Amino acid sequence: MRPIPKDLNLDRLVGQQLQQICIGAHDLQFKFEGEDRIRCTGVVTVTIEEFCHDVFTEDGWKDASPLAKIAGRDVVSWKIESAYVFAITLTPAAVIRFISEDSPYEDFVVDPEVLVW
């Protein structure tokens, strides 16, 4: 929808476990310990052991199989990779990338702070 907010801060996720992944017909949610979650309608990829899987794209679901492999892993870091991409690194050797694109809808909502872009 828009570039990732420059003041995005996901430091609180570091050390938290990715406890639940909810799959909807038109969206995807990542729930971490506590009340933190990321709701997605934008592009989501998962890289496991250097192989990148397109999980969710503007055309809908692609390959959801990597999601079962990342549930229960801990967040070790996060970073903004570009104006439209941020990533969360999980242990061991997995990365979730959230890629925003031009659309009339919010691509990602981070709760509980309700950051939308």
Amino acid in position 12: R
The pTM of this model reads: 0.91
Closest C-alpha among 46, 36, 32 to residue 97: 46
H/E element holding 20? strand 18-23
Q: What is the pLDDT of residue 113?
A: 66
Q: Where are the domains of the chain?
A: 11-105
Q: Which of 14, 25, 26, 31 is nearest to 87 (CA)?
A: 14
Per-residue pLDDT, 117: 44
* pLDDT score at 112: 79
Predicted local distance difference test score (pLDDT) of residue 31 = 97
Q: What is the pLDDT of residue 115?
A: 58
Instruction: Please enumerate in sequence order all residues whose Cβ is within 8 A of that of 79, keeping only pairs 6 or more positions apart, or say none.
Output: 86, 87, 89
| pLDDT by 10s per residue, the chain, length 117 | 578 888 889 999 999 999 999 998 888 999 999 889 999 988 999 999 889 999 998 888 899 999 999 999 999 999 999 989 999 999 999 999 999 877 677 788 888 765 554
